[in-house]
């Protein structure tokens, strides 16, 4: 690992030197590429330099402790420092190993996020609407741009399904763990006897696919247009602006009716279709991931859950990492990092274990 870290450090200094080169500075594209590479290498280099300092300090402390000619006070201080230094070195090594895990190229991509009401009727639709708002608030907090691509509302303010595009650097790295069944336990507004009901909604998260990722042949598409429904004024129900795309080889259906323009709806529907086809291709290429995705998203049944939102007790529990928070209000307000971070850490630990196996 030492040789690897020294090579990373050398590469980092090489990039820094290139960024000072006048020939490079005059090329904006090259500057962007090198700046991105520098930002990727810098955390590893800083961690390596800090570890090198700790190792040097440990060597000096052990030398002082073993030198009988040294003053007793110095030797005592060295003896006290050695356990802390060894602990810091072990933690530093773990951090460096984590930083050396190859970055998933999908992590930097934008996200297509779909929320659908599951088991529970109208209460499930109401919960789906709240989960959708939670993600919209989270995206806003993180500085991402969220664009609703399709939305099918239910009665009483609920949501049958919604599709949103979330744009921002690293969006997929944050949202990727949200796929699955989300279960809610609470007293519905329609409940007259105060009984707690259990309902669910499903969330699917896909990295946004570009044309270079997925090629779709025009002959493989069936395009249908229809009048949009829902809010939007008189023209909504009289203009065939809504678009439904069917990918014939896979029977994948996508529709978009958010925009008044048929062309804009077509472009948005193509974005969702490419992302679904990319996710399908990835699942087929990786049987393990496919099984995991199926177990997470499932059918929307209450028993298939990754997370439970218990409103009477004000708590949220993620069953994959065993994290329970008694901060349901702030969580529903978009402050979901206390669950996302342990999920990311567990995911990175699994990847590191696989690399070292």
Residue 316 and residue 310 in contact, taking contact as beta carbons nearer than 8 Å: yes
Inside any domain, residue 356: no
* CA 80 centroid distance within chain: 42
**Could you give the CA distance from residue 76 to residue 88 in angstroms, rounded to a whole number?**
19
Same domain assignment for residues 23 and 119: no
Highest-scoring range by mean pLDDT, 181-190, 287-296, 313-322: 313-322
**Could you give the CA distance from residue 18 to residue 201 in angstroms, rounded to a whole number?**
51
Query: Residue 1: what pLDDT?
Result: 66
**Could you give the CA distance from residue 250 to residue 276 in angstroms, rounded to a whole number?**
10
Average pLDDT, the chain: 86
pLDDT one-digit tens code per residue, 253-270:
988 887 678 888 888 888
pLDDT band at 355 (very low <50, low <70, confident <90, very high): low
Query: Residue 27: what pLDDT?
Result: 92
Same domain assignment for residues 8 and 75: yes
Per cent of the chain over pLDDT 70 is 87
Same domain assignment for residues 57 and 110: no
pLDDT one-digit tens code per residue, 13-62:
999 999 999 999 999 999 999 998 999 899 999 999 999 999 999 999 99
Region 320-332 average pLDDT: 95
Residue 265 and residue 273 in contact, taking contact as beta carbons nearer than 8 Å: no
Inside any domain, residue 357: no
Inside any domain, residue 120: yes
Residue 347 has pLDDT above 90, yes or no: no
The enclosing H or E element of 13 equals helix 2-19
Query: Residue 288: what pLDDT?
Result: 46
pLDDT one-digit tens code per residue, 115-128:
999 988 899 999 99
Domain boundary among 75, 99, 123: 99
Q: Which of 3, 102, 1 is nearest to 354 (CA)?
A: 102
Region 173-185 average pLDDT: 94
Query: Residue 235: what pLDDT?
Result: 44
Same domain assignment for residues 84 and 213: no
Inside any domain, residue 76: yes
**Could you give the CA distance from residue 193 to residue 216 in angstroms, rounded to a whole number?**
53
Same domain assignment for residues 130 and 269: yes
Residue 2 has pLDDT above 80, yes or no: no
Same domain assignment for residues 90 and 110: no
Domain boundary among 37, 67, 99: 99
> Given the DSSP bridges, would you call strands 180-186 and 307-310 parallel, antiparallel or unpaired?
parallel
Residue 277 has pLDDT above 60, yes or no: yes
**Could you give the CA distance from residue 189 to residue 109 in angstroms, rounded to a whole number?**
39
Number of domains in the chain: 2
Domain range holding 56? 2-99
Domain boundary among 56, 84, 99: 99
Residue 298 has pLDDT above 50, yes or no: no
Beta strands, E only, the chain:
111-117, 145-153, 159-167, 180-186, 197-207, 221-226, 242-247, 252-256, 307-310, 315-318, 323-325
Same domain assignment for residues 38 and 150: no
Residue 147 has pLDDT above 80, yes or no: yes
Same domain assignment for residues 84 and 128: no
DSSP 286-317: -HHHHHHHHHHHTTS-TTS-SEEEETTTTEEE
Is the model more confident about 102 or about 293?
102
pLDDT band at 161 (very low <50, low <70, confident <90, very high): very high
CATH number, residue 71: 1.20.58
């Amino acid at each position: 690992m030492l040789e690897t870290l020294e090579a990373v450090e050398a590469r980092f200094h090489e990039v820094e030197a290139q960024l000072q080169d006048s020939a490079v500075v005059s090329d904006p594209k090259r500057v962007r590429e090198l700046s991105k590479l520098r930002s990727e290498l810098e955390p590893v280099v800083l961690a390596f330099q800090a570890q090198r300092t700790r190792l040097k300090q440990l060597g000096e402390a052990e030398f002082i402790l073993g030198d009988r000619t040294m003053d007793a006070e110095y030797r005592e201080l060295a003896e006290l420092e050695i356990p802390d230094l060894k602990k810091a070195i072990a933690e530093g090594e773990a951090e460096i190993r984590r930083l050396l895990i190859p970055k998933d190229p999908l992590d930097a991509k934008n996200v297509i996020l779909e929320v659908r009401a599951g088991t529970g009727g109208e209460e499930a639709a109401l919960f789906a609407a709240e989960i959708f708002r939670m993600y919209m608030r989270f995206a806003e907090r993180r500085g991402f741009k969220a664009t609703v691509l399709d939305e099918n509302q239910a009665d009483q303010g609920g949501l049958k399904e919604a599709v949103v595009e979330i744009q921002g650097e690293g969006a997929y790295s944050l949202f990727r763990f949200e796929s699955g069944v989300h279960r809610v336990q609470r007293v519905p507004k329609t409940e007259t006897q105060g009984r707690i009901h259990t309902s669910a909604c499903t969330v699917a998260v896909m990295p946004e696919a570009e044309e270079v990722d997925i090629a779709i042949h025009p002959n493989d598409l069936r395009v249908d247009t229809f009048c949009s429904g829902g809010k939007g004024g008189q023209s909504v129900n009289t203009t065939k602006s809504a678009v439904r795309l069917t990918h014939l080889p896979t029977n994948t259906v996508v529709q978009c009716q958010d925009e008044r323009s048929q062309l804009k709806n077509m472009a948005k529907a193509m974005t969702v279709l490419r992302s679904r086809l990319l996710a399908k291709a990835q699942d087929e290429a990786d049987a393990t991931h496919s099984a995991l995705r199926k177990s997470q998203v499932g059918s929307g049944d209450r028993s298939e859950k990754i997370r439970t939102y218990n409103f009477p007790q004000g708590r949220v529990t993620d069953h994959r990492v065993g994290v329970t928070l008694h901060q349901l209000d702030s969580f529903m307000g978009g402050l979901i990092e206390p669950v996302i971070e342990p999920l990311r850490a567990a995911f990175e630990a699994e990847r590191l274990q696989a690399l070292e196996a």
